[in-house]
Structure 1
Amino acid sequence: MKLLRVIAAAAGWLALATLWFWAWHLKDPHLLFMRRWELPLLLAALAAAIVIAWRFARGMLRPVALGLACAALLMALCNEAASRQHRAEVRAMSGPAAQALGAHFIVGYDDANDVRELARRGLIGGIFVTGRNVKGRTADALREEIQGLQAVRRQAGLPPLIVATDQEGGGVSRLSPLVERQPALSSLLDAEVPEDQLAERARAYGERQGKALAALGVTLNFSPVVDLRPGRAPGRWDLHTRIEERAISADPALTTQVALAYAQGLEAAGVRGTLKHFPGLAGVTADTHHFAAELRTPVAQLAAKDWKPFQEVSKQSDAAIMLGHVILAELDAEYPVSFSRRIVQRVIRGEWGYQGLLVTDDLTMGAAYNRGLCEATVRALDAGVDLLLIAFDHDKYFDAMHCAHQAAGLTARLATQRGALDLPMPERRGAQRLQSFR
């Protein structure tokens, strides 16, 4: 019996610690699947914990357990209140300053009504369409939905929305079956296409895909993947990145040849491509969808090999570049590339001279979100990144926009606490790049 009491007590404290952690991370993107009933479930669990602590805890353990449970309950309610307040404040924003910030956000959605008013007020710059937007729908329905959002922009006298998606081909074909599912670009190499026909076929692939995307209203495709093939199987915890399955080749010259022709094919159909994921994920083993990651490949090796496709394709096309959430410690040991001013300004804008669009990978991925969405948002804008993607957990847009609004100096006290965002010069340059996109 004594052993059972010890086990029960240990289980109780573990459960209480779990509830504390849950309350602290309320509305975490990893818990999106239970978003609608997350708060009621947590509150019910905490209420049960309070009752159990009152009934079974003894001596000094009772006030400790009750205090922890009540504190977790209060924390959950405060986090929920803050989330609702951010949503209300963002929805009430208006004017040129808010629109200048909003132009930097590409946001996913479940229901077009969720983003219609944001689009009309200029509080977002684009939308991200993916599998949840096509499931059980026709191409005509999606096209009309996108056209309706663009009509709202025209009526408001605002530039068109950027309409982005993730249609790489192969396993990452978010708009299929509305867009024909094509094999991965690497299949052109697997088929041993003669070298003199390789670029021609890659361009034809891009044109075919681009026409289907353009017919729906898509203007920006997050493809091609120009990370080099690592030559190894994905790690045990690599659940989504899986570069070996998505990359074109381990050879930078072949990757450049195929990616450039493909990007030009997309552009011929009126769709801009995106080179991803800088600085190249071939040497990364962790899955940035969930975990922090560091790229330990020497910069000299990256410059000589991994960065060649990014540089060469961007010089000969209008492709954007997507920044990954990996730390390249040799250049910046503190911040991931996606919001490292040192890397964006010194390397990409400076040494490379690249003046095209830069877009972050999804900021609700663990490697960015777990560092603090506010920090990621503000530092990415301050670094001069043009587009911030909030796709998977699109509710987090309201928190990110609220942070950007505060950091831009519209509320001086919070801006001081979080680090003021010096927008004037990046904003002018970014506005020019976004205008050229449209």
Structure 2
Amino acid sequence: MQFLRRTGLVLLWLAAPLLAFAAANKNDPYLVPLRGAGNIALVAASIMIVILLLRRGRWRTIAGKLLVMFWCLPPVLMSAAHLKYELRKNEVLGASAAEARQLGPHFMVGYSSFPEVARLARLGLIGGIYVTRHNIRGRTVEALRAEIEALQDVRRAAGLPPLVVAADQEGGIVGHLAPPLTKVPALATLAGLAPDEQQAKAEEFGRIHGRELAGLGVNLNLAPVLDLKPPQRRNRLDFHTLIGQRAIATDPSVVSTIASAYVRGLEESGVGATLKHFPGIGRVRTDTHHFSANLDTPVRELETTDWLPFREVLSHSRSALMVGHVTLTAVDPDRATSHSKRVVDGIIRETWGYQGMVMTDDLVMGAIYQNDVCKAVVEAINAGVDMLLVAYDGAQFYRVFACALEGSRQGGLDAAMLHASAARLERGFPTEQARAASGAIHLVETSPSRTGGSPARGETRIRSR
């Protein structure tokens, strides 16, 4: 019995700092499972343990007093974290109409609470929403469709442009709305077919996704994946990127053929495609959901391999381009592509001439969020990124938007970049209104880029009509 009591006491000493840490960081994305009922359970457990320690007379000794104080910390730290969150939220919700008009269109947010996201939509603090499995779990397609329509009604009533409504339906292991939507095989399953069959099947997959997403009210699909399939197994700790299962093929021409056909099928229903994850993560072994990652391949080699599918599909579609949180060390060794002006403005805009919508991968991913997220947000906007995605944990929107708000108020945002981005978004939203005003993308001759050097002979640029 004495041994059990001592063991229990040791466990209490070990558990106290862990729970205190969890309480102080209750709003961290890694602790999403503790939100709501988990937070209540943590506070209730702390209070019960304090009462138990007091009844056992632990307060009489110095060590006992310290232990009781440790177990008093979780409720206090959780209250402080919640207060900080509410203050930041109120700051964002209190942004002026001018600030909302300037910054709001550049943010896309995932959500769990309809009233909360409806308020953001009405105030113009967001330009898009991201729907995923928790938005459809336990519900009918009709219920989610009505919810999306209601949000678009909120926008119309407020005199604001329609929301971009995005989903993540790649096929295969990534189909966050399937079921109840149709579960389509991965595009990689088509790589072994003859070219004609590849195109026919891929276009069919695109039509299925496009028809069902458009019927739901979704107008942008975060697909297809254009990263080249890695020739070797990735890091054993890669639990989320799993690009080996999501990439189409190792051959750029096969990727281009299949992806182009898929995008055609998708666009037939008025749903836009998103090509991802530039500059490519097939060669990267680190999972950017959790860690920073470097792509050390020379640009000349990437241009003739990994980047061929991106340029080919962009040249024949209205697709958006998603930039990932991989650092292209040959161009900008100090920051990830998602907030690198040398890459976004230098390569994508200037060298390639692409003037469509560029969006970030989820800013809640560890490669960005665990570093200086405020610096990344400001740099992304100044780099010419059009849409900043906050998908996995929508509650982080307030932190991310507050970063942009602070940057704006301190004069840290590039007005010319914001103006150019606003123009791109206005003509590039994949909605009925925007489709009527926007055309396809075509290739034109290039000129030397601002970032130095002349393009190779025969190189082309991609531009929106």
Contact 1:107 1:126 in 2 (8 A): yes
Aligned partner of 1:188 among 166, 187, 190: 190
Unaligned runs of 5+ in 1: 410-414
Q: CA deviation at 1:69?
A: 7.3
**Aligned residue runs from structure 1 range 193-232, under 5 A:** 194-232=194-232
Say if 2:427 is the partner of 1:429.
no
Q: Which residue of 2 aligns with 1:396?
A: 396
Q: Distance in 2 between matches of 1:271 and 1:161?
A: 13
CA shift for structure 1 position 280: 0.6
Q: In the alignment, what sits opposite 2:95?
A: 93
CA distance change for structure 1 residues 297 and 6 in 2, over 3 Å: closer, same or farther? farther
Decide whether aligned partners of structure 1 residues 64 and 343 sit closer, same or farther in structure 2, where only a CA change above 3 A counts. Answer: farther
- Contact between 1:16 and 1:49, CA under 8 Å: does it hold in 2? no
Name the structure 2 match of 1:286. 286
Post-superposition shift, 1:42? 4.8
Residues 162-195 of structure 1 deviation map (CA, whole Å, 9 limit, x = unaligned): 00000011111111123211111112223x2x22
Which has the larger displacement, 109-118 or 68-77?
Answer: 68-77
Cα separation, 1, equivalents of 2:50 and 2:146: 51
Helix, strand or coil at the partner of 1:160: coil
Residue by residue over 1:41-89, the C-alpha shift from the partner in whole angstroms, topping out at 9 and shown as x without a partner, is 5556666898979948987x88988888777765543322110112222
- The 8 Å contact of residues 153 and 159 in structure 1, kept in 2 or not, is answered as yes
- Describe the superposition over 1:346-388 as per-residue Cα deviations: whole angstroms up to 9, x where unpaired: 2222222221111111111122211143233222222221111
**How far does residue 5 in structure 1 lie from its aligned partner after superposition?**
11
67-76 or 311-320, larger mean C-alpha shift: 67-76
Q: TM-score, normalising length from structure 2?
A: 0.82
Corresponding residue of 2:125:
123
Q: Which amino acid aligns with 1:101?
A: L
Structure 1 pair 301–136 and aligned structure 2 pair: CA distance change class (3 A): same
Aligned AA (1:310):
F
Q: Which amino acid aligns with 1:436?
A: R
Return the offset for 1:276. Answer: 0.5
CA 1:62–1:330: 2 relative to 1, 3 Å: farther
Q: Partner of 2:424: helix, strand, or coil?
A: helix
Q: Distance in 2 between matches of 1:276 and 1:128?
A: 16
- Amino acid of the residue matched to residue 25 of structure 2? H
Shift of 1:286: 2.0
Residue 25 (structure 2) aligns with: 25
Q: TM-score, normalised by structure 1?
A: 0.87
User: What's the secondary structure of 1:107's corresponding residue?
Assistant: strand
Aligned to 2:341: 341
Moved more, 118-127 or 46-55: 46-55
Please give the residue correspondences for 1:30-49 in structure 2 after superposition, counting only pairs within 5 Å: 30-43=30-43
Q: Is the 8 A contact 2:382 2:417 kept in 1?
A: yes
SS at match of 2:89: helix
CA distance in structure 2 between the aligned counterparts of 1:24 and 1:207, rounded to whole angstroms: 47
Structure 1 CA distance, aligned partners of 2:60 and 2:223? Answer: 57
How far 1:227 moved relative to its partner? 0.4
Q: 2:137 aligns with which of 135, 138, 144?
A: 135
Question: How far apart in 2 are the matches of 1:128 and 1:33?
Answer: 20
1:258-310 deviations in whole A, cap 9, x for unaligned?
A: 11121122112101100111111111222222223222333332222111111
| Distance (Å, rounded) in 2 between the aligned partners of 1:106 and 1:49 | 42
Q: Is the 8 A contact 1:322 1:359 kept in 2?
A: yes
CA distance in structure 1 between the partners assigned to 2:34 and 2:23 by the alignment: 14
Partners of 2:60 and 2:10 lie apart in 1 by: 12
Q: Which residue of 1 aligns with 2:263?
A: 263
Cα shift readout 1:306-365 (whole Å, capped 9, x = no counterpart): 111112211221111111112222322222211222221222222222211111111111
SS across alignment from 1:331: coil
Q: Which residue of 1 aligns with 2:356?
A: 356
Q: Corresponding residue for 1:386?
A: 386
Contact 2:362 2:390 in 1 (8 A): yes
- Once the two structures are superposed, residues 221-257 of structure 1 have per-residue CA deviations (whole angstroms, 9 ceiling, x without a partner) of 0000000000233432111111111111100111011
Residue number in structure 2 paired with 1:412: none
Conserved in 2, the CA contact under 8 Å of 1:162 and 1:220? Answer: yes
Q: For 1:175, which of 138, 152, 177 is the aligned residue?
A: 177
| SS across alignment from 1:186 | helix
| Partner SS state of residue 113, structure 1 | helix
From the superposition, tell whether residues 12 and 219 of structure 1 become closer, same or farther in structure 2 (CA, over 3 Å). Answer: same
Going from structure 1 to structure 2, the CA distance change for 1:367 and 1:24 (only over 3 Å counts) comes to farther
Say whether the 8 Å CA contact 2:24–2:80 is kept in structure 1.
no
Instruction: Specify the SS of the correspondent of 1:282.
Output: coil
Task: Calculate the aligned-residue CA RMSD, in Å.
Answer: 2.9
Q: Which amino acid aligns with 1:270?
A: G
Residue 345 of structure 2 aligns to a residue whose secondary structure is helix
Distance 2:338 2:326 in 1: 8
DSSP-derived class of the 2:36 partner:
helix
Contact conserved, 2:127 with 2:164, CA < 8 A, in 1?
yes
Q: Secondary structure at the match of 1:395?
A: helix
Asked whether the equivalents of residues 222 and 275 of structure 2 are also in contact (C-alpha less than 8 Å), the reply is: yes
Q: Which amino acid in the other structure matches residue 26 of structure 2? A: L
Letter in 2 for 1:396: Q
- Count of residue pairs the alignment pairs up: 426
CA contact (8 A) 1:203 1:265 kept: yes
Provide the C-alpha distance between the structure 1 equivalents of 2:191 and 2:88, rounded to a whole number of angstroms. 49
Contact 2:26 2:78 in 1 (8 A): yes
The percentage of aligned residue pairs carrying the same residue is: 42
Please say if residues 57 and 65 of structure 1, whose CA atoms lie closer than 8 Å, have aligned partners that are also in contact. Answer: no
Kept in 2, the 8 Å contact 1:94–1:121? The answer is: no
Taking the aligned partners of 1:268 and 1:57, their CA distance within structure 2 comes to 75
**Shift, 1:104, TM fit:** 0.8
Residue segments in structure 2 that go unaligned for 5+ positions in a row: 430-465
Equivalent-residue separation in structure 2 for 1:48 and 1:332 (angstroms): 53
